Structure 1
């Protein structure tokens, strides 16, 4: 499944991490490039 997460803060990053363990295709978007 392809998943887009807007916001790489605490919640967005944690959600992306959990979904990556399930071999999902994840796109993480944030205005702050240092978080990506």
Structure 2
């Protein structure tokens, strides 16, 4: 039961992260440039 809950939680976190990246494309691009430098 706990393992299933953790897997579901990971899926939700990934979904939230993807949604957040879609909402903040410009900020994400700036972060990528900073990482490369």
| Fold agreement, TM-score > 0.5 | no
Length-normalised TM-score, structure 1? 0.39
Q: With a CA cutoff of 8 Å and minimum separation of 6, indicate the structure with the bigger relative contact order.
A: 1
Structure with the higher strand share, 1 or 2: 1
Bigger radius of gyration, 1 or 2? 2
Structure holding more helix per residue: 2
User: What TM-score results when the alignment is normalised by the length of structure 2?
Assistant: 0.38
